[in-house]
Amino acid sequence: KAGVTQTPRYLIKTRGQQVTLSCSPISGHRSVSWYQQTPGQGLQFLFEYFSETQRNKGNFPGRFSGRQFSNSRSEMNVSTLELGDSALYLCATKRTGGTDTQYFGPGTRLTVL
């Protein structure tokens, strides 16, 4: 079956703009988590959605937000972009919410100029 898909794969934006990233989970997966990955900070957890509700949240400012649709697809939005937001944004999905195995998408590479 198809894996986790993320669109777009690459994005270039300028400071102050906003961006929306999309994640489509593996069929049957209802939990979607978002991560930011940078060389200096590693993998940082942003938030997790399950059944259209945000269930976990990391330590990121309110400029980072997300949502999940009834088909489990999720979007992540970053408003008022800053240079430090340049990163690889990864989503990972799992079947339910517990200790299920989590699978990653290929990521969206965001560059803020």
Partner 1 sequence: GQQLNQSPQSMFIQEGEDVSMNCTSSSIFNTWLWYKQEPGEGPVLLIALYKAGELTSNGRLTAQFGITRKDSFLNISASIPSDVGIYFCAGTTSGTYKYIFGTGTRLKVLA
**Which positions ≥6 away from 66 have C-beta within 8 Å?**
34, 46, 47, 49, 54, 74, 75, 76, 77
d(CA 80, CA 27) in angstroms, rounded, equals: 33
3-state secondary structure of 85: helix
C-beta of residue 93 within 8 angstroms of C-beta of residue 4 = yes
Residue entry with tokens 């929306």:
20
CB of 16 to partner 1, least distance (A): 26
53 forms part of the interface with partner 1 (CB under 8 A): no
Residue 42 in the binding site for partner 1 (CB under 8 A):
yes
Residue 25 in the binding site for partner 1 (CB under 8 A): no
Q: Give φ, ψ of 85 to 5 degrees.
A: -80, -5
Output 82 or 100, the one with its CB closest to partner 1.
100
Binding part of the chain for partner 1, among 12-20, 41-49, 61-69, 71-79 by CB under 8 A, reads 41-49
Does position 5 bind partner 1 by CB under 8 A?
no
Asked if 95 touches partner 1 (CB under 8 A), the answer is: no
Output the six-digit token pair for 38: 């940078």
56 binds partner 1 per the rule CB under 8 A: yes
Residues of this chain that bind partner 1 (CB under 8 A)? 4, 6, 31, 33, 42-45, 48, 50, 55-56, 58-59, 88, 90, 92, 97-107, 109
